[in-house]
Amino acid sequence: MLLIVRHGETASNAARIVQVPETPLNERGMAQAERLAARLAEHHRSRPIGQVVASDLRRAEMTAEPLAEALGLPLVIEPLLAERNFGDLRGRAYAEIGLDIMEPGYAPPAGEDWATFHRRVDRAWSRIRELAGETEGDSVFVTHGLVCHSLALHHLHLGDGVEQPDRWGNTSVTHVEARAPWRTTRINCCDHLNKATADGGQMSGI
C-alpha cells in the first residue's frame, strides 16, 4: 500500500503566504506530525511500513521525521515530491499579489506553470512506484497539497463518482493500493487529529 501524506501546518500556511522552501512547521504542525506518527505506528503493527520518503522542503521533512524515528527507519528525501515552485512569489501574501496564482494559464515568474508542474509530478509518480516496488511492506510519501491534487487528477483511481477534495488537510493520509489501477481506499483522512488540531489548515500548502 502507498500512504500519501500532506505536510503539517506552518505559520505561512496559516497566514496565507506563499511558502519558501525552508519554512518549518509551526507548533500546531509539530503536534499534527506527532499524531500522524502515532497513527502510522499503529498501522505498522498490522501492516508493516518499510520506508518513509519526504519532499526536500523543510515542512515535509519535519512532518516525516517523527514517523521515521518511531519506526526506526531512515528518512529518504525525494526532491520530485516538492510543492509547485512559485518562484518570485514565494514569501509574499496571497492578498498582496493581486491575482489568482492557481489560474490554469498563470506562469509565476521564475517558477513552474501548471504544465511544467504536472510533468514533474508525473516523474514523481514514476519514482513513487519505483521506490514502492523495491520495498517490502507499505510505503509512506510525505508531500504537499498541490502534489496530492496532481496525483489524484492524473494517476489515482478515486472510485466511480468520487471527486477529489476541495482541500487537502494538514497531515491528511490517502491510502492507495500498490498496483494498477491505483485505487484509493481512503482519501484525505485526518482521523488522527482532534477537532481543535484539524480545523484551520489551508488547502494550497505552497
In terms of residue numbers, what domain contains 136?
Answer: 2-198
Q: Is residue 181 part of a domain?
A: yes
Q: Is residue 68 part of a domain?
A: yes
Q: Is residue 206 part of a domain?
A: no
For the annotated catalytic residues, the residue numbers are 7, 83
The kind and range of the H/E element at 138 are strand 138-143
114-143: pLDDT as tens digits: 999 999 999 999 999 999 999 999 999 999
Q: Is residue 105 part of a domain?
A: yes
Residue bearing cell 504537499 = 144
> What is the separation, in whole angstroms, between the first and last Cα of the chain?
26
Q: Is residue 98 part of a domain?
A: yes
Show the CA angle centred on residue 196, arms to residues 193 and 198, nearest 5°. 45
Mention every residue, 6+ apart, whose C-beta is less than 8 A from residue 115. Answer: none
Looking at the chain, list the stretches that DSSP marks H as alpha helix, in order from N- to C-terminal side.
11-15, 27-46, 58-71, 94-97, 114-133, 145-154, 195-198
Q: How many domains does the chain have?
A: 1
Q: Is residue 144 part of a domain?
A: yes
CATH of the domain at 182: 3.40.50.1240
Q: Quick one: the chain helix, strand, coil %, rounded to 5?
A: 40, 15, 45
pTM of the entire structure? Answer: 0.93
136-175: pLDDT as tens digits: 999 999 999 999 999 999 999 998 888 899 999 999 999 9
Q: Is residue 203 part of a domain?
A: no
Q: Is residue 205 part of a domain?
A: no
